[in-house]
Structures are given as C-alpha cells and as structure tokens.
Structure 1
C-alpha cells in the first residue's frame, strides 16, 4: 500500500463540477483582478475570523510582510518570533529591514514559549509574531498581556491554523492583524499561491490595501513603496467553492488525529510523543506531528514501505545560513533544536481512510520491532 502525505484527488472529484462552473464564470466575466470573487472570500474569511476586514494578497508570505509593514515595522526595529517555523515568518521581518529576535518554544505544543518573551524585549522591539504551528493556537493571553504592557503590535502567523480556536476566540481575531496562507496543501487551499490578512484595525486594513497595489491610492498616485500582491480572482473563485466545506474538513482532520493518537498510544505507549491539544485550544491538525527517537532512520523505513512523511522543520531559523549575521549558534534555543531532530509529520488530510492509518501504524510497529 502507498500512503501519500496529502491526497487532493478525492476532494477535487467531489467538487469538480462546481469548481469548473466557478472558474468558467470568472473567465466569461473577463474580470480577473480584484473582482467579486475576491470581495466574497475576503468577507467570508473576515466574518469567520470575527474581524471587520479581510485583505486578499498573493500568498501567505506577502501577508506577513505587508501586515508587519502596515503596523509600521521598519528599518532598525526588532520583532520577536519563534525559530521553529517556516522560513517566511522570519523572512517577512527581515524584508521590512527589521531584526528577527528568536524565543524558544514550548516543547509540548511547538509554539513560542510566552514565559521567555519579556526577557527578549528591548527599546527597539516593535512587534511580536507568534506562530500557530501545525494548526494549534499559541498561548495568546500572556502574549497579549505582554504586548499591552510594552505597547507592542501582535501579528498572528496563522498560515497553518485557519479555524483554530483559543479559549473561545478564533485564530485571527487576537492580534492587531493575522495572516493566512491558502497554499494548496493548507486546510483551505487554493490551486496555486494565495493568502489573506485579517484585522479589526481600520488603519492597518487600509495600509494593507494600499501596499498590495504598488502603494497606490488613488490609482497611479504613489505615496509609499508597495508591492504587486493581489489575491487572484481565479484563486478566489476556488476558495469560495472550498470554503463551504472547511468546517467539515476540520472535523475530519480532528477525527483522523484522534484515531492516530489512540492507535499510537495503544501500540507504543510513551515511546512516541503524540500531539498535545493544550487546554482551551481547538486544534485543526494541519499536520499530525509526533516525536520519535532516531527520526531520520524511522523516516527512511516509512519511505521504503510506502508511507510518506515530512519533516517540519529540519533546521531552526537561528541556524539558517541566511541569518548567520545574527550571531546565534547551536545550543541557543535547545527546545527548537531538539524538535528539529525528533519531529516528523504523518500523512494527514480530510479524506484519509482508517485502513490507510492502520497501515501507517502497522509499518511503525514493524520498524520498532526491529529497532
């Protein structure tokens, strides 16, 4: 049996007719840039996130960059974030001319450890950029408290966490702004690159709208340097078709995660660390990530036996060559470094079948019986 990391084919087969109709309507209208589909998905995601504004942009990376710039992050500022995340998180900070300041993670959730944030604040700190990794919200209450105390912005990196909740609040409504990615592999994925910024702040929203169109307002009049970063009308049409199914897909992911956890704990006990859903959280399981000893050997065995897996992420950001100038070294963030050596994500998608999950577990059993 071959178990893919992600299989979108069944999802597409169910949506095919509606998807073709939606795309045909866009092409028939000949309105391809910032049309009615973009407006519709912006309003839908804003309402879903319990905020006033949604601003569609070209991708999740641009959403982070534009959000930070819209909050006033610029040359010489510092932004606190986690080193255990996708590169775009810190890349967006650096592209603003600011310095990423890393804080280690809570090893149970893989999210930034709020207890370590305050000691990282300096007179140059402008914002905190928490990441809701793997589909679970960071511990936001203490982060919000710290931000208010020190007058800092919060930009949520919710690229992997649309639909997640924290103590009754939606991911996306807790910061000054929040960023979603609609990369095809995400829980709500387009058929190419796409992203969105959500915010309750009228000024930040307006700044984002101006920045995404070359800094132009009105058209052809430029007071700031912006970007060509608009959510494409065709991708918005795809997202509008898919959005109606998001909550069902989240429920399916949560059921699959529960199934994985019960089987793993039954078969392996404490040998394998399964995901922990923190109290008050609603995890949407963009990834189902476990920890295993000798992870790379384990991954090779899975691959040899037809089970796909992924490492998110093998090198923490403080050890990436591009950030060498920060003067950080191995040992500076031990929990992030340990997670980078042990974490591995198993196949996870809404349509995954129980027999597929059972095959994953059986393959794991064979590995551990030999090692």
Structure 2
C-alpha cells in the first residue's frame, strides 16, 4: 500500500458555525479511499475530494450486509496540537469485525497513518469550542456486483470526517431508559461483538418504540433468557452498586468498547473496585430496593459518559441517584475528556499526536 495519493479539493465548502454543529451533519472537504481486489489485496490508497461514490445496484453490500465501521475523534488542544484518542484500539477492533464478516484484514499501522494524513489535510475543520471535536468514521463495504451469498471479492475502505458539537448541547443530563423485554439486539455466536451495520439496524424498532413512550433509549437484555443486561442503546453500560462498579462481561454478543476499556482502566488506576460479570436486571432492581444502587451510566465514543437517571422494566420504574449525575460518572467524564483534549496529563499513554 505504501504511498497515499492526494487530490486537492478545488471547491472547498464553507465551514459550519461551530456553535451549531450538531452531530454527524457536516462533512469535510476530503475523504480517504482504498480498494480491495481478490488476488491483489488492498491497493490504490488515496485522499480525494469528499463526493458521492458510484456503486452498481448489484453491489453485495446492498443485498448481504457486509459492512463494518469504526468511530473515533480528533481534538485540538489549547496549544493547537492535534490529538487522536487510542486509534490503535479502533483499528484492532475493526480487524476483529472484519474477521467475523469474512472481510480481508487491514494493515492497522498503515491505516492509523492514513487517518493522521487525512486529519492533517482537513485540520482547519477541527472545531475548537468547548465540547467539540472532529469525528472520524472509517468503514468498509462489499462492492462486488454479484447476487449470490458468499463473501465478496471486492471491497472499498473509506474514511470520512465530520466536525461535531457537544453530544449534549445543554450539558450531561441523566436519561430515561426502557428495559427491552421483547426485541433482541444480538446473541452469542451472532455479530454482537462486531461493529457492523446490521446490529444497529436490528436495534431501531425498539428504540423508536421506547422514544414514543417517552424514553431516550433501550437497555438490552440477553437474547436467550431475557434476564442479563448487555448494552444500553449502542453503548456499553456500568452500574455502581454498594461502592463497586459492575459491567456486563464480554460474552460474544457485547461490543468491546474503546471507551469501556478506558473506563475500566481508569477505575483500576483509582483503586475503585470494578468487576466484569453477568448482571441480571433482577439484581439491579433489588439493589435499588435495598438502597445500594448508586449510579448507572453508558459509555461510548460519541458521548463518552451518558448517565442513566431512570429505568423502566415491566412497568416498574426506578429513579437512580435522585435523577442526578453521580460523582463517579462526572469524574470519569471530566478525566476522559480532559485527556482527549490535552488539559489533563495522559499518564496511560492513550493519546496520539498528529504531527503537522
């Protein structure tokens, strides 16, 4: 793969107002593309103007769902340096998703360098206002024009960039969550541990119904017994019970989140007890009843920390920490975002500098 070709965008777009970015609405002037051809491997790495892509209607991604993606961010520090947060973990996980969907592996080190180069090209798009960042979306799609169920022989790897605002425009507010007892997101042996488009499509119906009932998101239970907690929306989930932090263990149907991994590492470095194990919904409601359920929060790239203020399960409703963000949740949010933006010391070696 080696060298990355570059084509300058001759018609750059007007940059959006940083105070009105929203999330995932605006896209920069350039994108990275690399092709895969069976027998040739990954080739023709290039940075080109952001533009529509041409695919045949018979491209296999449209019919058999071979599509994986990642999400990470770039930040500008007060010294105008550009930092990425743990891109090695994203590329490692992308290859795990590739393996599950029979997509050829990528060279992880090369792709980190390619992302750095793309971010350098569009560095002027990185917003600097509080809570903003440049969202990076790498994804791979099957492009072979063929109707028949087998792994594609051709793929495109694309990276696009999007300047985004704070995930919560009015600060972090605990959200109301409905415990989903009917629909299933994923099962062990399926694709729950891969970051693939189909998992998110499977979650939409339950999310729509939850929002129609006044809830922000869904707490997913396991797909077999409908008893054990898995994820909240598209995020990993944590509970502080009697001074100990619990999170569902990775069981083959739960995504190995980069933020999840970071939160566990931080808690251990602070000597806060953290345990990865099966957590039942009954156990959680019992902990609330006896006064030991102290905090609950989701973790993910977009929001970092999303506090849970209420849970509804089988028409039983509980309020956690009086509907307020917990002290530990706030500390975790402040620490991760501080490391990401370079305002706190990165003692764990997570940030990667993008040299100018």
| Short-chain TM bin | under 0.3
Greater RCO (CA < 8 Å, at least 6 residues apart): 1
Q: Which has the higher helix share?
A: 1
